[in-house]
Amino acid sequence: MAKKLIVTADDFGLCAEVNAAVVQAHAKGILTSASLMVGESAADEAFSLAKKNPTLKVGLHLTLVEGTSVLPRSKIPDLVDENQKFSSKIVAAGVKYFFSEKLQKQISMECEAQIQKFLEGGLVMDHLDSHNHIHIHPTILATAVRLCKKYKIKAIRVPWQGWRSLNAGQALNAVMMAPWVATMRAKLRAARIAFNDEVFGLFESGRMTEEAWLKIIPKIKDGVTEIYCHPAIGTAGILKETMPNYQHEAELKALLSPKVKKLLEEAGIERTTFTEMSLRA
């Protein structure tokens, strides 16, 4: 089996700095895909840039925590505040989402609204993933699978990095995630929705620098691996507010790095997309 790699930039549409980096990393670097936050302030610019760069595959970065809704608060009053902002308390939000039938109905409405906004923007949806991987949550996953079948979305990211070279804290996190991931894979197989075999970036979030890439590439196995990252041309505005410790510019530099590209080529790793993967499935 060949080694195939999807290279994705998350948070497309969050701000102009991210949008500019995505275009640059695709045109001049190794980026194959981006995940679009349709409720954020730079989403319209992201739609426009994606249409001007048709080889860039774009998916939906489903947002239900730490972001902005598409629907007004009047329709989802228990899900967002007066500014249409979701909770930034991810664990607490996840618990509420699991137990509240009222919230689950509002989540379903918001998820569908985000999918509809993406499709109305004139792009073909390459894949679905989510901000902070909230789609691994059983309630969100059930909604995502149902809507993917309804709207013929053919691929979903599975956020599983495996066990190789994890430290104690990361291994504990992986142990906690393992049953959720197993359930996720089973549900996606049953629904005939394609997914990646492994992902990198989960334990390097905000630090996908050239050094990180050079360490990860030798670990890539046969099958379809995704590496996701958070490039931007600068850490300003909302990025400085919400991700002050992320190395956005260094992540962009890594995507443009000749060393990274050369090592991928020497390892025989072919860059691909979720769309290509789903066609082969």
Contact predicate 272/4, CB 8 Å = yes
pLDDT at 281: 59
pLDDT digits (tens, 9 = 90+) for 16-61: 999 999 999 999 999 999 999 999 999 999 999 999 999 999 999 9
Q: Does domain 3-280 have CATH number 3.30.465.10?
A: no
- The 10s digit of each residue's pLDDT in 182-233 is 999 999 999 999 999 999 999 899 999 999 999 999 999 999 999 999 999 9
Collect all residues with Cβ–Cβ distance below 8 Å to 96 and sequence separation of at least 6.
103
pLDDT over 90 percentage in the chain? 83
List b or e across 60-75, with b for residues whose CB sees 16 or more CB atoms inside 10 angstroms. Answer: bbbbbbbbbbbbeeee
Phi, psi angles (nearest 5°) of residue 135: -75, -5
pLDDT, averaged across the chain: 94
Q: Is the pLDDT of residue 165 over 70?
A: no
Section 140-150 average pLDDT = 96
CA 247 and chain centroid, separation: 17
- Looking at residue 277, its pLDDT comes to 86
For 97-118, write each residue's pLDDT tens digit.
878 889 999 999 999 999 999 9
- Say which range, 16-25, 121-130, 143-152, 270-279, has the weakest mean pLDDT: 270-279
Region 159-169: mean pLDDT is: 78
pLDDT over 70 (residue 252) = yes
pLDDT above 70: residue 157? yes
**What is the reported pLDDT for 44?**
98
Please name the amino acid found at residue 56: L
- Give pLDDT, residue 238: 95
Per-residue pLDDT averaged across 260-264, rounded? Answer: 98
Residue pair 67/11 in contact by the 8 Å Cβ criterion: no
Does residue 35 contact residue 8 with C-beta atoms inside 8 Å? yes
Instruction: State the pLDDT at residue 254.
Output: 98
Residue 93: pLDDT band with limits 50, 70, 90: confident
Domain boundaries, the chain: 3-280
What are the residues whose beta carbons fall under 8 Å from the beta carbon of 262, sequence distance 6 or more? Answer: none
Residue 220: CA count within 13 A, CB half-sphere: 32
The answer, as to whether pTM is greater than 0.85, is yes
Distance (Å, whole) CA 188 – CA 184? 6
Do residues 248 and 28 make contact, with C-beta atoms less than 8 angstroms apart? no
pLDDT at 173: 79
